[in-house]
Amino acid sequence: MVCRETEGFMSLAICPGSFDPITRGHIDIIRRAALLFDRVIVVMMINPSKDPAFSAEERMDFIRRTTAGIPNIEVDYYVGLLADYAAKCKATAIVKGLRVMSDFEYEFQMALMNRSLNPGTETIFLPASIDYMFLSSSAVREVGRYGGDIAPLVPDEILDEVKQRLCVKKGL
Ligand code: PNS
């Protein structure tokens, strides 16, 4: 039997997303993945047919700054299929957070598609922490655009920039 330890195996997880912008919920999943795997790559997937609120450069900068304190985290971006990226870096697992049951159908389909494209990488779901069950990047954008309090939703390091970029004039 081949023992992964004796082969010098290092487990590698990837945490993919659009991160438009990164939220406290993402950070929670990334931190927990970092406890489970030797290395974690947070990969921002670029979809050229989407029009994100934050540029790719801004989103990468936000990810880098908010994950800087986690030792086994690397940050990357990719244009293309997640399954191809996972195969390219020989990832052990794709880690996704699951918030509510409505996430499940979409995420389950994606997991099956990714597995059929790349059987070498498993998808693992981590249940969202209770504080972040309702949290999404789109909720951050919506609340922020109308001047609502996004401090509980967005990491401290990027809060002011996210607020400034999203906030529209009150009364509009
Ligand atoms: O943060 P999001 O928007 O929920 O992340 C979704 C993401 C980027 C992980 C997903 O859309 C994705 O993996 N996109 C890359 C293209 C791909 O591989 N699609 C799956 C095959 S249909």
pLDDT digits (tens, 9 = 90+) for 88-120: 999 999 999 999 888 899 999 999 999 999 999
Catalytic residue list contains 99: yes
Ligand 1 contacts (CB < 6 A) are 16-18, 45, 81-83, 110, 113
Q: Residue 168: its pLDDT value, please?
A: 67
CB 34, CB 72: distance < 8 Å: yes
Q: Give the residues across from 44 on adjacent strands.
A: 17, 77
Closest ligand 1 atom, residue 19 Cα: 1
Q: Residue 102: its pLDDT value, please?
A: 83
Among 15, 30, 63, which residue's Cα sits nearest to residue 132?
A: 30
Q: Residue 69: its pLDDT value, please?
A: 94
What pTM did the predictor assign?
0.94
| Average pLDDT of the chain, as a whole number | 94
162's enclosing H/E stretch is helix 159-166
CB 94, CB 86: distance < 8 Å: yes
Catalytic residue list contains 49: no
Q: What is the mean pLDDT of each run of 10 residues along the chain (172 residues)?
A: 69 98 98 98 96 97 97 97 98 96 92 98 97 96 95 98 83 49
- Ligand 1 center to residue 77 CA distance, Å? 12
CB 16, CB 82: distance < 8 Å: yes
- Ligand 1 center to residue 17 CA distance, Å? 7
